[in-house]
């Protein structure tokens, strides 16, 4: 028996057939959770901007497209400059009435404390526009994950450096209309 035929004879789980008969739910802000791996090259920021824009519009978060697209561009530009031609991993989530953009790059952690401080300062300076954007949205600098923006050594399973922006979304707590 060929592998294709064997797969075709596999029974479908009852819960899967029930899902086929349910009306589809429209995307909601709370279900926004996307990730994208892109090459660390400047032209790839355009691809990420398009993906972020489409995801936000689909999840009824269109008023936040401009700020999120700018935040993603700044995160990618900084990482591409520090780790050229290395893959970048961008995550976009909506949690606790805020958009969360996280970018992991493959910039290795330095061993020398002076090099660590110099590298952190260089990254912080390269994200000055991101800092202003987060500040305008009501966020602030955060040296750890809880803050409005920042960078830190990535934790396993990721490697390299994690940079993020948390953009508060005002007025989205109301339910999204169902169509």
CATH for 64: 3.30.565.10
Question: Reduced to 3 states, what is the DSSP secondary structure of residue 91?
Answer: strand
Give the predicted TM-score (pTM) of the model: 0.79
Could you give the CA distance from residue 134 to residue 114 in angstroms, rounded to a whole number? 28
Predicted pLDDT of residue 161: 92
For the chain, the domain total comes to 1
> What does each of the 179 residues of the chain score in pLDDT, given as a tens digit?
555 555 556 666 666 566 666 777 778 888 999 999 999 887 889 999 999 999 999 999 999 999 999 999 999 999 998 888 899 999 999 988 889 999 999 998 889 999 999 988 999 999 999 999 888 887 765 544 455 888 888 888 878 999 999 998 875 544 444 43
Predicted pLDDT of residue 30: 86
Predicted pLDDT of residue 23: 72
30 CB neighbour count, 10 Å cutoff: 14
Cα 83 → chain centroid: 18
What residue numbers bound the domain in which 133 lies? Answer: 28-168
Strand order in the sheet with 33-39: 33-39, 87-95, 98-105, 161-168, 149-153
Domain assignment of residue 21, yes or no: no
Residue closest to 83 by CA, chosen among 42, 124, 128: 42
Sequence-distant (6+) residues with CB within 8 A of 67 are: 99, 133, 137, 167
Could you give the CA distance from residue 46 to residue 111 in angstroms, rounded to a whole number? 34
Domain assignment of residue 123, yes or no: yes
């Amino acid at each position: 028996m060929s592998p294709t035929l064997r797969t075709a004879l596999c029974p479908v789980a009852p819960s899967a057939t029930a899902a086929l008969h349910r009306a589809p739910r429209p995307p909601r802000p709370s279900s926004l959770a996307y990730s994208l791996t892109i090459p660390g090259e400047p032209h790839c920021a355009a691809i990420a901007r398009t993906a972020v824009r489409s995801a936000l519009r689909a999840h009824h978060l269109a008023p936040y497209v401009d700020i999120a697209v700018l935040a993603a561009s700044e995160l990618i530009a900084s990482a591409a400059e520090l780790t050229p031609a290395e893959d970048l991993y961008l995550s976009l989530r909506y949690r606790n009435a805020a958009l969360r953009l996280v970018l992991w790059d493959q910039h290795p952690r330095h061993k020398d404390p002076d090099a660590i401080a110099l590298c952190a300062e260089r990254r912080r300076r390269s994200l000055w526009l991101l800092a202003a954007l987060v500040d305008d949205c009501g966020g602030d600098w955060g040296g750890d994950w809880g803050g409005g923006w920042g960078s830190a050594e990535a934790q396993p399973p990721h490697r390299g450096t994690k940079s993020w922006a948390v953009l508060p979304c005002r007025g989205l707590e109301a339910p999204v209309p169902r169509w």
